Amino acid sequence: MRADQTLVQFLREEKRLTGTHIGCDTVSCGACTVLLNGQAVKSCSVLAVQCDGARVDTVEGLCDQELSPLQQAFRECFAVQCGFCTPGFLMTACELMRTVKPKSRQELAVQLAGNYCRCTGYQPILDAIGRVLALPSPSR
């Protein structure tokens, strides 16, 4: 591990965990989001050496053989288009469901503001996470 290697580089290059994506490399898009000791972090902003002894959860850990309920909701709600942003949204949602537990779609949207999607228009993503959180569906 190089002293200047970011966590996302370490995960992809050394650990071969390629589910964590390198998007903007400037902490803007959220595609590289992982859980570091249970907290969602953008892994392009963390040096790998800082994580020695820490627990790092990536999208690969969300399921063994079957999709997790969150992944299944993404599938059923068509929240995956190109899939590039999906791992970051999934990992951010995992933390939100465990800690913040948004009570409305508006609150959920605010909590997801650090993750960008250029394909879905966000509604299917909000639908999927809202389904798992049992939030009321929007009237359309």
What pLDDT digit, counting tens, does each position of 31-72 carry? Answer: 999 999 999 999 999 999 999 999 999 999 988 789 999 999
Confidence of residue 139 (pLDDT cuts 50, 70, 90): low
Of residues 73, 42, 58, the one with CA closest to residue 137 = 73
pLDDT at 140 over 70: no
**Under 8 Å between Cβ of 15 and 8:** no
Walk me through the domains of the chain, giving residue ranges and CATH numbers. Answer: 7-133 (1.10.150.120)
The tens digit of pLDDT for each residue in 109-126 reads: 999 999 999 887 899 999
pLDDT tens digit sequence for 9-27: 999 999 999 999 999 988 8
Distance CA 117, CA 83 (A): 9
